[in-house]
Chains A and B, each alone.
Chain A
Amino acid sequence: MDTFATQSPLFEDRARAVLASVAAPDARRAAQEFVAQADRDAAFQLDACVHCGRCAEACHFYLVTRDPRHTPVYKLRPMLKAWQRERAPFAALRRWLGLTPPAVTATELSEWSELLYDTCNLCGRCTGACPMGIDIAGLVRRAREGMSVAGFAPADHYKAAQRALDTGSPIGLRWPALKRQIEIQEKETGLKIPVDAEGADYLVILSSIEIVGFAETIGALARIFHQAKVSWTVPSVGFEATNIGVQMGSRDVAAALLSRIVEAALRLKVKYVISPECGHAYSALRWEGPNLLGMAYPFKVVHIVELLDQLVREGRLKTRGKDNRRLAFHDPCQLVRRGGVIDEPRRLLAGVSNNTVELPSPGVANFCCGGGGGVSAIHRAEPLRFAAFACKQQQVEAAGAEALVTACANCRNVLEEAIEQYESTLPVLGLTELIAQYLEPDPPAALP
């Protein structure tokens, strides 16, 4: 822990320095980063494309616009060009023959900013469809590193990153705001919500969207953990799970934000950190975090849905009664396609619903809500995001769902906004809250 505490300020300093260095867009810097990002696995994948176009049909942005530029693999073109120019196996031969691809330009990258950010949710549907097995979403994530370090990420992302570094949250939310919400939830549930409790088993972190928009989740967790007798705590510092660094493609910003959570976990000596209902936060903490921070965690990371499923299976969490509406589960992309959490939410939902229905192509082929991968944070991308929601809307209608349930606060927020745009009144529910709603009541206290 001491070692990490020493290193942690370095992550912060590096992230601030990187953001401060992005003064004017620099195409050469972007190209250098593209090449640096093409390690063995990425290079093999960049090199394996046969231009079959199948990824286009997997992308909701292409499906709704029919704009060929929205073909997922096309979004990688600047990265591919830079790699072919500098590092590809026959780059020297191409140079000798005068067949080197032209260098990427600032004009080109400005155009690609829209393609790599506004029209990609990093949802990974294209990865699932690619016959060559190219992890296109993974490569877009890498390409964003080049874009962000060179000044080509959306301005909204830079601002959110700066806010996250300065305040702890991409929307500028600080501890007093969470403290107020905790106090409200304590009043509503009559339960004490432990803050900074050293030695607790589980550390609960939250996303800003949950704190601001779905604060009932905090109360739901309190009721669930009370029944299951889970020892838990919320940190007053390092409570933000959202990671704008992962979304914009800045490993330095991502590492700085993750280091705060890790610091909190180490400070409070917890055994587990619970990733909240947030897809990309899970991806950032569970899969990217150890690599960005250069250390294997001394604690385990578990998604709240995984933990709830475990508690139910262990008999520590009991529900009573069921929802009779036709409920459909919306799979958060980062959980299902890139996180392997597929069955757990369905088991949980079946425990509290009499009438679950699957959307067409559920699970790994599920359509994104349209706001993942940082798209919901880009103001200029809003019309396209709402347009892309048409794919989801069609699925909901086909399934005849009366309410959507999900396990990601960002999905929930984006879905609600889009549903409103489509002049529908379909409710969107959080899975944790739904479980809490059907918890078996506590047995009456014994008479004195």
Chain B
Amino acid sequence: MQEFYIGWMDKAPRTFAQFVKKYLLLILPVIIVIAVLLGALQKKFSKGNFEFGQPTTVTGIYFNHPVPLIKVINGKDIFGNISYITIPLVGYGKHGADGIISDIEKEKNISLDQKEVSLKGTLLYNDGKTIMQVDKNDTVLVHYSGKQIASELLPQKKDLGTLSIKGEIVDSKCYFGVMKPGEGKPHRDCAIRCILGGIPPVLVVKNEKGEANYYLLVDADGAKINQSVQPFVATPVTVNANAIQYDDWIVLYVNKNAGIREISRSAFYQPGNAVACVMR
């Protein structure tokens, strides 16, 4: 007589219990192998870092354009040139820093543009670029000097002409440290939300070795282009624009109606062929 299984009985018949035991012993290694494969074969996480919970105060020159940023001077290099790093500012969450800066200016009835300031915020950085998050709930403006700055501290501009480059538009905050990944299809919604919230969009251009150049995007008049890039975020695009180097960032002045074109993924990465030269 064959055994019969009933779930509400306290114990399964012996043959059923033995069979299920064998099945479980078989699928346990399968589960472990799947976990190992899925864990090990994910794309490498970026080396970006977000110093969450560790605010830093930086002193430098604040500029409103091309995006809100602070230029931090760090002495002079061996050739006697001023050594600096330009740190674009972003707000808390998925917001730009414009509102916070504008509130400070209104509240204190001052203009921060081209003035020496000390700002408190949270740094995030990756691949040689640094961004700072400022939060309206903190005391962002730690120090303000109303003095006009020396002309040598103004941004060093260089016209690079018209460029046509292929890359991916990302939001600068997630890409450079907050999110891993901060690019690609899984991150598209977040990047769109960040860019629509005012975080500066950046065009990432990589060659086949994974080396990247980064370009800040503004419209042809130097105003924000955030709304117009929404359909092109996290997808392969060609950007035609006038490029101007501002210190250690290149800014693309993009015609918002015709300057960005979506391209096929196959045209984006062509193994063996660099799609862009990487400038260091």
Q: Are A and B associated in one complex? A: no
Residues of chain B touching chain A, judged by Cβ–Cβ distance below 8 Å, are none
Residues of chain A touching chain B, judged by Cβ–Cβ distance below 8 Å, are none
